[in-house]
Structure 1
């Protein structure tokens, strides 16, 4: 059963019970008030009869008529004359005339002088209220009994119950209709959330719920959107990580297979064929160069694994000294490629591992000189501003397409694979550099335009002066 129907049924039951209880209490209160009013009226009539008879007896005593004091029939006739035209029934009965067969026996059994008693008798749907009191005249006792028809009290209660039952049915029906629409309105947000959850469970993590309520359901919707965004982010990250691993395995296999194929092929030629000294030298050179490339690739992979498992020992590094050391190592290689190097240092200090940072900028200069294609000058500069040190490598070479910028730091990723292999690259230099920069708490930013050049900028926090 849907939640909205559960809410509807519970509300209908609560409303019906509340109306029924309130109606019962109201009708019961009205019935008791009417009954109490009937009791009071009957007792007052009895008291009035008692007072009338006492007054009549007193008058007779004053007149000296002592013989008729105990004449019950005479007193009854006089009362009937006085009550003629009213609905009150009066019975006068001497105490000595009452026996167990008398209809007044049970009513007057425990009655004492000065007291009044009453009882209700039902006969064929008619309700009669019997009231009794006792009057002492000379040596005898006379019971004064008046009877009042209170059938209307019970009939009124029955009519009220029937009327209220009809009112309750109409009220519950109207409330049911209203509560149905109210429950639809209140649970609309829950239905929306359930639909969004079902869509998300089907694999669409981009879906969001749009709930504008400012209550707990609105807060739940907001938290759900935050959770969905986090899940979408993590799923995307996992997919991206899985893609990188698959690309890594595929590229590693390819990069390993290419030099091994050359090594196996040329070694097989040396083993199985008679070759001239010149061809033997060419084959040996191929085997040597491909072996060196495998060695370089294995060493860089080892460095990546080692960096992921161990920390770094950070020390104060004077930036001009770092750039001078990088220049001494990279300048000869770049000169052989016909590319110039210009260094622009700044007098700032950073914290880090000197050898690892030297590896970063040598790799960047190596890529820049390869991209320059034997012409132009590569700039290696440092700038300091507001506690931030920027070290930048800038070339004016072939540039990097925009779609490749996000993947340039992935392992084995090469923009121009043929040029990289020809120059001995394995696509691990920038991956290693990016890892080292992250370990130093730095930030790498690459800006490039095709056929205009590339600018690689590394940001570090400036070390405090000693």
Structure 2
């Protein structure tokens, strides 16, 4: 059962209960008031008739020395004939003996007769499916042995009550039908946003993550729709991130397999050559050198992959790092290639200290400078600068090498991406250095920016801001 149907049933049930109870109470109140009026009228009529009867009996007692049943019957008979046309009946008892009665529906049980001389009784009874009102009382002295019973047909009052109930039921049915149509229309309109939300949720569940709910109202449903859209935006962003991550990992695996296959194939080829071919000592040395070169390339690539995996854990140790010492270590590491290409390194270190992980920062700068050395021609230049204030430190490494196109700047930070694949493979590059550098920057909450122009060189700027005041030996 749908929500609007449940709401409709609840509303209509509550309405019917409330309406019917209120109607019943109203009918009952009206019946009670009418009954009270009928009782009061009957008591007044009984008093008038009984008083008239008393006066008449007094007159008779002056004419006749003895009141006999015939005399009493003769006098009361005109009253009985007159009021019978008005559905009013009378009975007269003398010493509990019936003297006169024009009521033909009397039953064996007469509780209204069981009263004391100083009492009056008003009793309503149903005889043969007809309601009657019995008002009983004794005449005053000296005729206190005479009991007068006033009987009135009040079936009209009962019929009126039943008619009112039937009318109320009919009104309840008509109003319920009209109200049902009105409530269903209102509920369908009020729950329309919920149905739209449900439909949109189904579409999102089926993969249409761009679907959103149109928000028009400002009530709770409107707020819910707004929050639903915010949730859908967040889901879409996270799903897109998962897709991107999946694609990135697949690309990483494909590139890794490709990069590994090339040196392995070369090693196997030269190994077979050394095993089977009748080669000269010079050719053997050349083959062994190539095997060593490819093995060294695989070792370096494996080491950098391990570095990337370790960086993903995010646990690094911070200490005070001196840039001058790091640059000296890097120059020593790259000294062979620097001397071979006669590269000049220009340094301008206005700031020399920073809080960070020394090994990671050295790896960061080494990767950038190693790429710069590869990109430089003979006699090229690398310029290293540090500057800034107490709130930030900027490290700048620029070269005047071959540079890159603008469209390649966003890709060089991806693992295994190489601008010139053939030249990088010859020089031993696997396209992992800058990806590793980017992760090191992220761990140090630093911002890494690159700019480059073909045949003019590349410039890398790294801005450190949040770790300048860190305590020594702190960890994150």
Both proteins in one fold, TM over 0.5: yes
1:103 aligns with 2:101: no
**Is the Cα contact below 8 Å between 2:347 and 2:384 reproduced in 1?**
yes
For 1:40-55, what aligned pairs fall within 5 Å after superposition? 40-54=40-54
Mapped partners of 1:453, 1:238: distance in 2: 35
Deviation at 1:139, TM superposition (A): 6.8
For 1:60-75, what aligned pairs fall within 5 Å after superposition? 67=65, 72-73=72-73, 75=75
**1:26 corresponds to:** 26
Deviation at 1:116, TM superposition (A): 1.8
2:306 is aligned, of 299, 302, 305, to 302
SS in 1 for 2:429: coil
SS in 2 for 1:411: coil
Mapped partners of 1:125, 1:450: distance in 2: 115
SS in 2 for 1:454: strand
Aligned CA distance change for structure 1 residues 246 and 87 (closer, same or farther; 3 Å): closer
SS in 1 for 2:398: strand
Deviation at 1:373, TM superposition (A): 4.5
Mapped partners of 1:375, 1:52: distance in 2: 148
CA offset digits 1:283-321 (Å, max 9, x no partner):
233223212212222222333344445833321124455
Mapped partners of 1:5, 1:464: distance in 2: 64
**Is the Cα contact below 8 Å between 2:399 and 2:458 reproduced in 1?**
yes
SS in 2 for 1:380: strand
More off after superposition, 20-29 vs 48-57 = 48-57
**2:421 corresponds to:** 417
Aligned CA distance change for structure 1 residues 447 and 125 (closer, same or farther; 3 Å): farther
Aligned CA distance change for structure 1 residues 149 and 368 (closer, same or farther; 3 Å): same
For 1:216-365, what aligned pairs fall within 5 Å after superposition? 216-308=220-312, 311-323=315-327, 325-327=329-331, 329-330=333-334, 333-337=337-341, 339-347=343-351, 349-365=353-369
For 1:204-219, what aligned pairs fall within 5 Å after superposition? 204-219=208-223
1:379 is aligned, of 383, 388, 409, to 383
More off after superposition, 400-409 vs 73-82 = 73-82
Deviation at 1:396, TM superposition (A): 4.3
More off after superposition, 376-385 vs 167-176 = 376-385
Deviation at 1:79, TM superposition (A): 5.4
Deviation at 1:406, TM superposition (A): 4.2
Structure 2: runs of 5+ lacking an equivalent:
472-476
Aligned CA distance change for structure 1 residues 153 and 398 (closer, same or farther; 3 Å): farther
Mapped partners of 2:454, 2:214: distance in 1: 43
Q: In the comparison of the two structures, how many residue pairs are matched?
A: 463
Deviation at 1:87, TM superposition (A): 6.4
1:463 is aligned, of 436, 460, 468, to 468
More off after superposition, 385-394 vs 206-215 = 206-215
1:435 aligns with 2:433: no
SS in 2 for 1:425: coil
SS in 2 for 1:92: strand
Deviation at 1:102, TM superposition (A): 9.9
Deviation at 1:106, TM superposition (A): 0.8
Aligned CA distance change for structure 1 residues 357 and 95 (closer, same or farther; 3 Å): same
In angstroms, what is the RMSD of aligned CA positions?
3.4
Deviation at 1:165, TM superposition (A): 2.7
**Is the Cα contact below 8 Å between 2:355 and 2:468 reproduced in 1?**
yes
TM-score computed with the length of structure 1 as normaliser: 0.86
Mapped partners of 1:112, 1:336: distance in 2: 143
**1:134 corresponds to:** 138
More off after superposition, 125-134 vs 20-29 = 125-134
**Is the Cα contact below 8 Å between 1:320 and 1:346 reproduced in 2?**
no
Structure 1: runs of 5+ lacking an equivalent:
none
Mapped partners of 1:126, 1:260: distance in 2: 115
2:168 is aligned, of 164, 174, 188, to 164
SS in 1 for 2:133: strand
1:444 aligns with 2:444: no
Deviation at 1:38, TM superposition (A): 0.8
TM-score computed with the length of structure 2 as normaliser: 0.84
1:200 is aligned, of 197, 204, 218, to 204
Mapped partners of 1:370, 1:211: distance in 2: 57
**1:38 corresponds to:** 38
Aligned CA distance change for structure 1 residues 81 and 123 (closer, same or farther; 3 Å): closer
Deviation at 1:173, TM superposition (A): 1.5
Mapped partners of 2:115, 2:167: distance in 1: 41
Mapped partners of 2:49, 2:462: distance in 1: 118
